[in-house]
Amino acid sequence: MTFLLFTQILAIAAVVFSLSAFAFRLRKFTQLAVPRDRSPLKGDPQAGINYALTLGMLPWAKESTRRHAVAYLRGVGFHLVVFLVLFLFLASPWLGSIPGAFRTILTIICCIGSILALWGFLARFIDHGLKVLSTPDDYFAVILVSIFLASAAAMLVDSAFLPFFYLASALTFIYMPLGKIRHCIYFAFSRIFFGRFFGRRAVLPHNQQNKVTA
């Protein structure tokens, strides 16, 4: 067994572990008792959910992002590159078929994503508010994802770095359901809860007409 094949198998096993752990957590979520909302129905809960997952995530919809536009854009760019690298992980067996010019563009994007991740890491030392709120998990997660993105850039430059990319991917997938990165599923649940709660009260979306039911 070659080292490349070993790292590929390790990465696949990590993906299976991560998906299984997330499935277990989702099952636990669905088994939790949901408190009954006894407030009178005034609006459409589904409309609130739709707003919370779409327009409600835009920068002008939230005061925090309006006041911290640069941090918001950094976060958006960083997460978009993470999704791109996840796609590259799936496409990595066919790395050689990616045209050279397109591979260069992807390399630049991955490098930018890694820099944005490191920016978030350094901000936790510079910004007093972030420093107070940050935990060891926060620092480790950001550094881990930075390495994940940087390894993707490296393997795009030279396929000899593929084993390194698979090792970084395996570590990332294993850590996903165990550390801070698991917010990828908590985030969706929180937005749905937020949209349903305020949609029912006709607060969201903001142009929703009050519909008081008898």
DSSP 20: H
pLDDT given at position 113: 94
Residue 211 has pLDDT above 70, yes or no: no
pLDDT given at position 214: 38
Where in the sequence is the domain holding 164, given as residue range(s)? 3-31+59-193
| DSSP reduced 3-state for 6 | helix
- Highest mean pLDDT range out of 128-142, 158-172, 184-198? 158-172
pLDDT given at position 154: 96
Compute φ and ψ for 94, nearest 5 degrees.
-110, 30
Say if 213 falls within a structural domain: no
Of 180, 211, 208, whose CA–CA distance to 52 is shortest?
A: 208
Calculate the average pLDDT of the chain. Answer: 87
Mean pLDDT, residues 117-142 taken together:
88
Say if 210 falls within a structural domain: no
Say if 48 falls within a structural domain: no
Say if 90 falls within a structural domain: yes
pLDDT given at position 210: 47
pLDDT given at position 208: 57
- Residue written as tokens 């327009």? 55
Say if 135 falls within a structural domain: yes
pLDDT digits (tens, 9 = 90+) for 18-59: 999 999 988 887 787 777 777 788 888 888 899 888 888 877
pLDDT given at position 207: 66
- Cβ-based neighbours of 139, under 8 Å, separated by 6 or more: 121, 124
Mean pLDDT, residues 153-161 taken together:
94
Q: Are 197 and 46 in contact (CB under 8 A)?
A: no
Q: Please give the residue that has the higher pLDDT: either 64 or 112.
A: 112
Rama region for 202: left / alpha / beta (φ>0; ψ in -120 to 50; rest): left
Q: How many domains does the chain have?
A: 1
Say if 70 falls within a structural domain: yes
Measured between alpha carbons, how far is 25 from 185 in angstroms, rounded to an integer?
9
HEC sequence for 184-205: HHHHHHHHHHHHHHHHHCCCCC
Q: Where are the alpha helices (DSSP H) in 127-161?
A: 128-133, 136-157
Q: What is the CATH number of the domain that holds 119?
A: 1.20.950.20
CA distances from 151 to 15, 133, 159 (A): 17, 29, 11
